[in-house]
Structure 1
Amino acid sequence: MWHLIKKTDKNKKEYRIRLSASVIATKGWLNGALSFCGHDESETSLYRGHFIELLKLFGVVNEEIDKVILSNAPRNNQLTAPSIQKEICNCFAAEVLKKIFDELCDDVFSILVDESRDVSKRNKWLCLVHVMETTALSLKKAIDELFAHYNLSLSRIRGQGYDGASNMSGEFNGLKALILKENSSAYFVHCFAHQLQLVVVALANKHHEIFNFFNEVSSLVNVVGASCKRVDLIRESQRERLGLNPEVETGSGQNQELSLARAEDTRWSSHEKT
C-alpha cells in the first residue's frame, strides 16, 4: 500500500510539472499571437511546431522538466495534443474575460459588433460564438446568449456601434432597433472610420485620375509579384534610389522594405504603407 501511495504522489508531481510547462509554453505563444501547431508534429519531423519545440527547449535547460515531458511522459498524458492546447487557451481567455467583467462590475458600457472570419471561413462573434446567419434577429439572439452566459445586463448598455448595413443599423428591423426597443438609452453611432472609408472609396472611384492610378498599381503588382526576378529588380532599384538620395531618412517605420500588397477598398490597416 505504501508503495502505491508513493507512486501516486510521484505521478501527481510529474503531472504538475508537465502541465506547468504546457501552460507556460501556451502563455508565451499567446503573448506573441503566434501559431502553435506545425505541418508535421510526428517525432521524426525536423520541426514539430512552435508549441512542441518550445517544450523541447524547456527540457534542454531544465533536467527535471526533461524527465517528464514528451517522449518521457506516458503516451496518453503528454499534454501536447491540439485539444489540450485549445483547452489551455480557453482557460487563459476565461481569466482575461473574468478580469474585464470584474472591472466592469455594475457600470455602464458600450458594444461594438462586426463580422470576422477565420481561415475556415466561419463567422465569429467576439471570437466566441459561431453564427450561422447574420440577420438582425440572429445577431440579437447571439448577444442575448452571450450576455446571459457572462451575467451582463442589456439595460447597462449606453452605446452601440456598427457599420451601415441594413441588418445592423436598419431603422425598424436592424440590430440597432431591436436593442433600442429593450433599452432606449443604448444610443447608436455609425462607425466613423467606416463612414470615412465609404466616402473616400466612392470619391476615388468617381475621380478618373485616381481610378486609373490604382488600376495601374494593381496591374503592376500582378506583373511584378508573379516573378521572383522582377521582385529582385524592384528591390535593387529601391536600394540604388535610397543610396543616391542623401536626404532620405532611416529608422523604424521609414523606408523599410515592404512586401507587395494589393490595394483594396477594405484593407483598413495598410493604405499608407501599401
Structure 2
Amino acid sequence: MHRFFKRKDPEPEVQSIGDVRVEEFDFSQLSVDPGLRTPICEYNVNIRDQVRREYLQKGPCQPSGYEFPKRKFGVSQCRRFNPSWFNEFGDGLEYSVEKDTTYCLYCYLFNTTKEKQAGGEAFVNEGFTNWKCKDRLNIHVGQHDSEHHKSRMNCETLMNQDEHIQSVLHKLSKQMRNDYRICLNASIDCIRVLWRQGHSFRGHDETESSLNPGNFLIQLEFLGAHNKEINDVILKNAPKNCKLTSPDIQKDILSACATETINVIIRDVGDSLFSILVDESRDVSTKEQMSVFIRYVDSSGHVNECFIGIEHLTSTTSLSLKAAIDKMFSRHNLSMSKLRGQGFDGASNMQGKFNGLKALILKENLCAFYIHCFAHQLQLALIAVAKKNLPISNFFRVVGDVVNVVGASCKRSDLIREKHSDFIVEALERGEISSGRGLNQETTLQRAGDIRWVSHYNSLISFISMFFAVIDVLEIIPEDDSSSPDQKTEAFFYWRQYFYLILHSIYT
C-alpha cells in the first residue's frame, strides 16, 4: 500500500491547437495520495472538471488497517492521527501516507483561494498535522456558509449531471438551436413560394404598425397564424437579434437556394456532353449582363435546357465574354472538353469568324459546333423582308395605330370585349362555331413587339378573331362625345377607307 501511494502524477503531454492549449493524459493515473497531488488550479481549465470528477469517483484517501505513525508533541507526549476522525468530520477528510498529514478533498477540488477560517490553507496545500488541536478540524468545517460547505455543495452539483451548469447550458442550447431551425425553415418556405411565383419581397413600410409590410413578412405572418410551433419563434416572439427577416438574410437564403438548384443541375449533367446558349444585354440599371443556359440529355433520355447563371460584364468584347464563361465553368466544375455546341446571336463579338466568342471556344475545343440562334435568325429575316415590302410594312403600322385607338381607354377595352361576346353568342346560336372546353375564351387585342416576331403573329390572330367587334367600336368612336376630335378622325378614317378593306380581305 505504501508503494501505491508514492506514485506521482504523470507529466501531461501538452499540445497547442490554435490559441488553446489542451492537456492530454490518462486520468486513471492521477495520484491517490493527497500529499502528492498537483494543485487543481494548475490544471488546464478545459479539463479541470474532468479531474474533479475522477477524484470524486475514486473517493477520499482514507487508509484502513494502516498503523498511523506517532508524532512527538512537547517533551514526552506523543500523538498520532485518529482514524475515527474520518467518520466524525465527514467523508471529505483525507490522510496522506507519504507525508503523514491530513487534507480536505472538497476544499482541494474547489477552494482555490485562501480560506478565512483557521487552518484553511493547511487543509489544501501544506496539510494539517497538529493532532493535539482537534478543534482546528471543527473550525475548518465551520457553519453552513463556510468555505468548506460551499466546496462540498460544488462537488455535489458537479456529480449531479442533470443539474450541472454544462447540462443546463446544453439543454438550453439545444432548445435554442431547435427554435432557430424552425424559424429558419419558415423563412426559407416563404422565400421559396415568393421566388417560385416571381413576386417582390419587400414593402415600402416594413414597420410593425404598417398595414402592408411586404409580401415576405405577410407570408411569414400567415404561416405563423396557421402553425403555433412556428408562431412561437418568429417575428415578435423571436429574439430581437435573430428574427431572420432582414433583406440581407433574404438575399443570403436566395443565394443559397440558387446555389443548391444549380448544384442539382450540375450533378444531373455529370460527365455527359452538353451545349451552352449565351446572350448578353443591359438590365434596368444599365449594367451589362450575360445569361448562360446549359442544354443536355439526362439519364432518362430527355433533353433539358436549364439556366445556370448571370455574369456581370465590365466589357462586351469577345475576350471578356470568354473569360466570364471560363469563370462560370470553373465555379461549377464544367469541362470545356465536354462542350459540343454553342448558340449565340449574330453580333460580331459573338459570331466573329476570327476574334468572336465562337472562334475563341473553337480554338480550345474543335467539337463545340456553333449554331446561330434560330429565334434571332427568324426575327432578323422577317423584319428585313417586312421593311423592304412597303404594303406589308404600312399594314403593320396601321395595325399598331388601330390597337392604340381602340384600346386607348378602359371604357373602349370593355366595349370591345362586350361586342366580341355578343358576336360569340350570335355565332353559337347560328351554329357557325362550336362550343367546348377551352374554346371561345374572353380575349382582347394584343400589341406587336419589336423583339419577337411571334408577337406580330399573335396580334394578327387577335385581330382576325375580334374583327367585327373592332369594326363596331371604330364606328362608335366618332359618335362618342367623350372622344377627342383627333381620335374621332382616326377612327372614321380606319373604318371608312383603308383598314376595313385590308382586314376584310385577310379575314375572308
Using the alignment, how far apart are the partners of 1:177 and 1:29 within structure 2? 41
Q: Counterpart of 1:69?
A: 234
What is the match of residue 230 of structure 1?
Answer: 412
C-alpha root-mean-square deviation of aligned residues, in Å? 2.3
User: By how many angstroms is 1:239 displaced?
Assistant: 2.1
* Post-superposition offset of 1:228: 2.3
The Cα shift of 1:3 comes to 4.8
1:273 partnered with 2:458: yes
Determine which of 254, 257, 270 is the counterpart of 2:443.
257
Counterpart among 199, 204, 213 of residue 381 in structure 2: 199
Which residue number in structure 1 is paired with residue 425 of structure 2? Answer: 243
Of 60, 67, 73 in structure 1, the residue corresponding to residue 225 of structure 2 is 60
User: In terms of Rg, which structure is larger?
Assistant: 2
| 1:59–1:65 contact (8 Å) kept in structure 2 | yes
Provide the residue aligned with 1:190 in structure 2: 372
Given residue 215 of structure 1, which amino acid in structure 2 is its aligned partner?
R
Separation in structure 2 between the aligned mates of residue 218 and residue 28 of structure 1, nearest angstrom: 38
- Measured in 2, the distance between the counterparts of 1:269 and 1:76 equals 52
The 8 Å contact of residues 242 and 248 in structure 1, kept in 2 or not, is answered as no
TM-score calculated relative to the size of structure 1? 0.89
The residue number in structure 2 matching 1:83 is 248
Q: Aligned to 2:458, what secondary structure does the other structure show?
A: coil
Contact 2:224 2:234 in 1 (8 A): yes
The 1:244–1:59 alpha-carbon spacing in structure 2 relative to 1, beyond 3 Å, is same
Range with bigger deviation, 51-60 or 228-237: 228-237
Number of the residue aligned with 1:101: 266
**Structure 1 pair 152–238 and aligned structure 2 pair: CA distance change class (3 A):** same
Q: Which deviates further from its counterpart, 60-69 or 117-126?
A: 117-126
Distance apart, 1:244 and its partner CA:
2.1
Distance 1:42 1:96, change over 3 A: same
Q: Which one of the candidate residues 124, 133, 136 is aligned to 2:315?
A: 133
Give 1:168's match in structure 2, choosing from 323, 326, 350. 350
Cα distance 1:272–1:249, how it changes in 2: closer, same or farther (>3 A)? farther
Partner of 1:217: 399
Q: Which amino acid aligns with 1:130?
A: H
| The 10-residue stretch of structure 1 (77-86 or 110-119) with the greater mean CA deviation from structure 2 | 110-119
CA shift at 1:54, angstroms? 1.5
Supply the distance in 2 between the matched residues of 1:250 and 1:272 (Cα, whole angstroms): 24
Decide whether aligned partners of structure 1 residues 115 and 38 sit closer, same or farther in structure 2, where only a CA change above 3 A counts.
same
Higher strand share: 2
Deviations 1:228-261 (A, max 9, x none): 2222222222222222221165644754324x54
Displacement of 1:273 in angstroms is 3.3
Letter in 1 for 2:405: V
Residue 19 of structure 2 corresponds to which residue in structure 1? none
Q: Which has the higher contact order (CA 8 A, sep 6+)?
A: 1
Q: Equivalents in 2 of 1:271, 1:256: separation in Å?
A: 20
Q: CA deviation at 1:171?
A: 0.6
- Aligned-pair identity in percent equals 49
Distance 1:220 1:83, change over 3 A: farther
- Residue matched to 1:148: 330
Q: What letter is aligned with 1:192?
A: F
Q: Report how far residue 4 of structure 1 moved.
A: 4.2
**Alpha-carbon shift at residue 75 of structure 1 (Å):** 2.8
Cα distance in 2 between the residues matched to 1:183 and 1:254: 53
Where 1:262 maps in the other structure, the secondary structure is coil
- Unpaired segments ≥5 residues, structure 1: none
Shift of 1:63: 0.9
User: Quick one: distance in 1 between partners of 2:196 and 2:389?
Assistant: 44
* In 2: Cα distance, 1:210 partner to 1:157 partner: 42
Aligned-partner Cα distance in 2 for 1:28–1:76: 25
Instruction: Quote the offset at 1:77 in angstroms.
Output: 1.5
Q: 1:40 to 1:239 in 2, by over 3 A?
A: farther
Q: Provide the secondary structure at the position in 2 that maps to 1:164.
A: coil
In the TM superposition, residue 79 of structure 1 has moved relative to its aligned partner by 1.1
The SS at the match of 2:342 is strand
Instruction: Describe the shift of the 1:169–1:102 C-alpha distance in structure 2 as closer, same or farther (beyond 3 A).
Output: same
- Maintained 8 Å contact 1:249/1:255: no
Q: What's the offset of the Cα at 1:209?
A: 2.8
**C-alpha distance in 2 between matches for 1:173 and 1:181:** 10
